[in-house]
Amino acid sequence: MFASRLTKRIGPKPERIILQYFNLGNEERIKNVIRRVISLPEQEAVHQLEKVMRDFSFRHLNFRHKLLENFKQIEKYVQENISNDKKLLIGAYFSKEYSIEAASLFNPSIVAHPDQRFLKPGMLRFVMSLRATGEGHLSSLEFRSGVIDENCEIYFDETSHFCELPAVNEDKMIDKGMLAKAVPPKDESEKNIYGRIPQLFTLHQIKEIFRAAQGSVKDESTNLFIEKILNYAEANYEISFNESTTVSERVIFPYSKNETVGMEDARFVKFTEDDGSITYYATYTAYNGRTFGTQLIETKDFLTFNIRTLHGNAVQDKGMALFPRKVNGKYVISSRQGGENLQIMYSDDLYHWDEYQQHRIPAEPWEFIQLGNCGSPVETKDGWLLITHAVGAFRKYSMGAVLLDLDDPSKVIGRLKNPLLEPLENEREGYVPNVVYSCGSLVHNDELIVPYAMSDSYSGFAKISLPGLLAELTEKK
């Protein structure tokens, strides 16, 4: 209706790879590989290492350091003194490459970059997040940066050849009070378990506390409770990238057991705190192959990220999107419940959500199967503009829009009767056909800039006149 497509489009590049530890799993196999490498004459080991360097070193930053890091993973099995070359060669045998975009690059969200210096008037620097999917349908989180000019044309910064994983802060402190809200003790036995936990602890410390307990406790429910505590501690972590990396080099890859099969559909929002400071938040779906949960990313600079767990009775479905500020002193989230209806949720606690109320149910034929949001709403003078996604016949995904009252977001002021964006003929084919989908938009120079995915494969942009869209949403029918 109002949307015009921009020519800019980005797609998956199989050459975007990360270097990972290659876990053989079986201890005997690990020892066998080590023994074979150590048995090589020194000259042959040097020759094999030189071949590895020729084949792989140009594909990764800090290559030797990464090989040594992977050697350290199995160093306990090495019983003799060996040369540094053999350590590097063993590290190479326990290394692998993973193509993070081998399948697709999709479901983008976009926010204003923390650094807006040195731009011409009318321009905006942005950061865009993307869901990258590779071998085994495993999803990770990537970023791109660029500039939107005064005419709302998109210009990406150069995408680096390299991809870098962050360092995990092993000393991050976890608060026992937050743990108790997420995994509350229900009986005396579970309260006794909590008695062993200090007020502040690290993941390593709590693993040590329960290492002996798990072996001695015979009750299955108690062991399950301990496992939930350990899973929570692992899922609440901090990561940081080296300052020398560019935005496009940074990859957030699944770390905890909760997200072993993927980190899906991050919805980033630039959030204004009560004191006026800015924090970037993003909800995402953590999937372990059987169950999913909602996690929250927090960052100020897109270098250091805190990962937190959302919990409570209302954290049951996917697609949660945080409003960009509190409303009437409460945090607000647009969410989906029951797989098909749009809900709105309020909470005093950013991490705990207990109540929700129905917001919208499918009403038009193009949304009969499912309704959800396409990211956090945008604040306008007329209300909160929430872009929605809907599923109709033949599992066709379209995008719509609703306008919510600024002071009472549970009140729908207006909605589009027809789709705002639906797949064109050249957007229908891909990993999941007939889909257009977004995880977050922004406004620039009176235009709504919507990055969107096409059939879970590629990503492009649309722009929509904000005054025109608001006029349609506020028109009395």
117-166, pLDDT tens digit by residue?
999 999 999 999 999 999 999 999 999 999 999 999 999 999 999 999 99
Residue 170 pLDDT: 86
pLDDT in tens, 211-249: 766 556 667 888 889 999 999 999 999 999 999 999 999
Tally of domains within the chain: 3
Of 65, 99, 133, the last residue of a domain is: 99
Classified as helix, coil or strand, 35 is: helix
- Domain check: are 56 and 136 in the same one? no
Query: What residues have CB less than 8 Å from 11, skipping those under 6 apart?
Result: 105, 457, 458, 459
User: Which of 414, 326, 389 minimizes the C-alpha distance to 109?
Assistant: 389
- Domain check: are 183 and 297 in the same one? no
Give pLDDT < 50 ranges for the chain.
Answer: 477
134, 104 contact by CB (below 8 A): no
Q: Which domain holds residue 71?
A: 17-99
Question: Which residues pair with residue 264 across a beta bridge?
Answer: 285
- Domain check: are 62 and 185 in the same one? no
- Domain check: are 444 and 318 in the same one? yes
Torsion of the alpha carbons at 419, 461, 17 and 307, rounded to the nearest 10: -70
Residue 214 pLDDT: 59
pLDDT in tens, 452-465: 999 999 999 999 99
Mean pLDDT, all residues of the chain: 95
Euclidean distance between CA atoms 414 and 422, whole angstroms: 20
- Domain check: are 287 and 341 in the same one? yes
Q: What percent of the chain has pLDDT over 90?
A: 89
**Residue 179 corresponds to which tokens in the numbers above?**
């743990």
**Residue 118 corresponds to which tokens in the numbers above?**
């040195």
- For residue 346, the domain's CATH number is 2.115.10.20
Question: What percent helix, strand, coil does the chain show, rounded to 5?
Answer: 25, 35, 35
Euclidean distance between CA atoms 325 and 473, whole angstroms: 22
